[in-house]
Amino acid sequence: MAEAGHLEAVVERCVARCSNDRGELLSVLRGVQGELGCLPRDALTAVAAALGLPRANVEATASFYHLLHGEPHGAYEILFSDNIVDELAGRRELMQYLCEQLWVQPGKLSEDGLVWIATTSDIGLADQAPAALVNGRPLPALDKSRLDLVTELVRERRPLAEWPAMLFAVADNVRRAGPLLGAPFAPGTALTRAAALGAEGVLAEMAAAKLRGRGGAGFPTATKWSSCRRAPDPQRYVVCNADEGEPGTFKDRVLLARHADLVFEGMTLAALAIGAQQGFVYLRGEYADLLIPLEAALARRRRDGLLGRGIGGAAGFDFDIALRLGAGAYICGEESALIESLEGKPGHPRNRPPYPDRCGFRGKPTAVNNVETFACAARIVADGAAAFSALGTADSAGTKLVSVAGDVARPGTYEVPFGIAIRELLAESGAREPQAVQVGGPSGTLVSWREFGRRIAFEDVPTAGAFMVFGRGRDLFEVARNFTRFFAHESCGFCTPCRVGTTLLANTMDKLAAGKGSAWDMTQMKSLMHVMLTMSHCGLGHTAAQPVVQTMAKFPEAFERRLKNLDFEPAFDLDGALATARLITGRDDRWAHLLSREP
């Protein structure tokens, strides 16, 4: 444990780095944990005193995020992704192998205090599964030989800076490129044209291009920006949602790594359109390795006059962008929860209305869009609305980035025109005897082999980007079960229907997996799903039962073969639990068994 003097110095340094801003509580906590290795109670007390916050507020934020912890995790924290794609690629066996090599139990600090090994939710590397994070840095494409090298480096106590670079090499895996990923883009191109168009002209281009949000909901971008511009409060913000936590999605990671200028330029166009002077990129905690290159890109744009005061030489066009790092919370992908997190609070979704375009960050009008949407906006202004709307369908203009993973020969990012048939994308990615595709992640749509003629479009199968393929030999019950555990783990706990419902659903799936299920359990799950759908506070609770609902409907045999009885059977075997007592007392007559007593 850190000495009091050292602890206070660390807290003072981290608070000063964040300009003593209470709203940057999460950044302060990340900084303190980075230096101390954890967040001990004394550190939380010191942070509360330094920022003038109630101790309970600091504790609430520190305990909400999965990547923050109050106990030491050693010199090496290794977190394996437990996304279903990683599971099917051998994550469980590889994690057990590493634990045996390092003599550590999962979820427990090794006896020498050196290493901690556990699981975490999807880390955005499904195309390179199985994968893990070591002290926040990605370890893609793991196998036993790579883990042998990791074991050796850990035993030698080598700092990560001295580990071979190839261990951290994340491939972009762009398999098909279009206007976003393939066409050249010179920074400032869109801003030059925007200067001639003006704010109203930029909004007109968004409307003519029929740009809809790429986060899955598909809300018209021009409508959102126009509403924000009309808000009476003159102080407005632009926020980029880079918290792509939906399992199986990684296309935003590719955009930020390869085309950061496209994203930043799109944010700057939004600022011009709505009249904002400050923007934020909320980057998911699992993408911390992108911080340094993104900061470098921002610094270069400031040097080139593309950010800061008088952008492009235009007096009064002042706008800058700051990066904010999350700390592991799927719910923060929801825009109002993201704003709460930006303000240093737990990421609980807000009641809506009011919507962020009128009451967002710090109560001010805020335009929140995801990474891909801002990249599209830059392309529209640079190339013209007609070029963008020429691709796709009448209701879904342009292209869509799709993260393809699972049972395919060529996993990676595909830029496809809206309207492409699922069958075509399966063929292009080399799918191996596919029986189902989970489009849009666990909260999305399960498409069976009978429906492969359906199309990726807002009017048919919408998606934020995930496209997980499951071959004929995969057990879709286990896929749905993995998703229920994910939702139970990621529920923010704010409302009872979601907090309790996701846990009950996961427990019932475990009961079925143990061979103790019945038709009664199936009926109860359907009833539970209705409660969650109609009474949960936000979209997580509304969609958490989707994997079970859709798998039941489209692959009922996956459930039926696990039903042991037609009638109810309790998951807990009380008679079996008495076996130890019978052994101790030396009794095994019929009166020592619950089920064999006669009246």
Q: Are 211 and 179 in contact (CB under 8 A)?
A: no
Question: Domain boundaries in the chain?
Answer: 4-64, 76-171, 176-389, 399-474, 477-565
Contacts of residue 180, Cβ cutoff 8 Å, sequence gap at least 6:
255, 259, 262, 372, 375, 376, 379, 399, 401, 415
Read off the pLDDT of residues 516-547 as tens digits, 9 standing for 90 and up. Answer: 888 888 888 888 888 998 899 998 888 898 89
pTM of full prediction above 0.75: yes
Among residues 131, 74, 72, which one has the least CA distance to residue 102? 74
Give the model's confidence band at 571: pLDDT under 50 very low, under 70 low, under 90 confident, else very high: low
pLDDT for the residue 587: 85
* CA–CA dist 118, 109 (Å, integer): 10
Strands 434-439 and 466-471: antiparallel
Provide the b/e sequence for 274-303 (b: ≥16 CB within 10 Å).
bebbbbbbbbbbbbbebeeebeebbeebee
Task: Specify the residue for token string 């050292």.
Answer: 6
**Is pLDDT above 50 for 598?**
no
* CA–CA dist 125, 251 (Å, integer): 10
Superfamily covering domain 176-389 = NADH-ubiquinone oxidoreductase 51kDa subunit (3.40.50.11540)
Read off the pLDDT of residues 485-516 as tens digits, 9 standing for 90 and up. Answer: 999 999 998 899 999 999 999 999 999 998 88
Contacts of residue 383, Cβ cutoff 8 Å, sequence gap at least 6:
179, 183
CATH of domain 399-474: 3.10.20.600
Dihedrals phi, psi of 413, to nearest 5 degrees: -100, 130
* CA–CA dist 567, 64 (Å, integer): 40
Contacts of residue 81, Cβ cutoff 8 Å, sequence gap at least 6:
91, 119, 120, 121, 122, 123, 125, 126, 129, 130, 131, 132, 133
Task: Specify the residue for token string 């045999």.
Answer: 557
pLDDT for the residue 570: 63
Contacts within 8 Å (CB) and 24+ apart, 223-226: 224/357, 224/367, 224/369, 225/270, 225/273, 225/274, 225/367
**Is pLDDT above 70 for 27?**
yes
Among residues 543, 529, 550, 557, which one has the least CA distance to residue 438? 550
Give me 129's structure tokens.
């599964």
Give the model's confidence band at 3: pLDDT under 50 very low, under 70 low, under 90 confident, else very high: confident
CATH of domain 477-565: 1.20.1440.230
pLDDT for the residue 368: 97
Average pLDDT over residues 331-355: 94
What is the percent of the chain where pLDDT is above 70? 97
pLDDT for the residue 563: 80
Average pLDDT over residues 287-314: 95
Average pLDDT over residues 100-121: 96
* CA–CA dist 337, 365 (Å, integer): 15
Beta-carbon count within 10 A of 308 CB:
16
Read off the pLDDT of residues 147-168 as tens digits, 9 standing for 90 and up. Answer: 999 999 999 999 999 999 999 9
* CA–CA dist 403, 413 (Å, integer): 5
Domain topology for 76-171: Glutaredoxin (3.40.30)
Give the model's confidence band at 461: pLDDT under 50 very low, under 70 low, under 90 confident, else very high: very high
Per-chain mean pLDDT for the chain: 93
Q: Are 58 and 44 in contact (CB under 8 A)?
A: yes
H helices present in 231-315, as ranges: 251-258, 260-274, 291-303
What's CA 403's distance to the chain center, in Å? 13
Provide the b/e sequence for 20-44 (b: ≥16 CB within 10 Å).
eeebbbbbbbbbbbeebbbbbeebb
Read off the pLDDT of residues 549-568 as tens digits, 9 standing for 90 and up. Answer: 899 999 999 998 888 655 55
Residue-wise DSSP of 54-69: -HHHHHHHHHH-TT--
Q: Is 344 left (phi over 0), alpha (psi -120 to 50) or beta?
A: left
Read off the pLDDT of residues 35-94 as tens digits, 9 standing for 90 and up. Answer: 999 999 999 999 999 999 999 999 999 999 999 999 999 999 999 999 999 999 999 999
Contacts of residue 139, Cβ cutoff 8 Å, sequence gap at least 6:
78, 131, 132, 133, 146, 150, 167, 168
Read off the pLDDT of residues 166-186 as tens digits, 9 standing for 90 and up. Answer: 999 999 999 999 999 999 999
Q: Are 347 and 63 in contact (CB under 8 A)?
A: no
β-sheet bridge partners, residue 518: 565
Same fold: 76-171 with 399-474: no
Average pLDDT over residues 395-416: 97
Q: Are 414 and 393 in contact (CB under 8 A)?
A: no
**Is pLDDT above 70 for 599?**
no
Q: Are 349 and 334 in contact (CB under 8 A)?
A: yes
Amino acid at 325: L
β-sheet bridge partners, residue 137: 134
Amino acid at 484: T
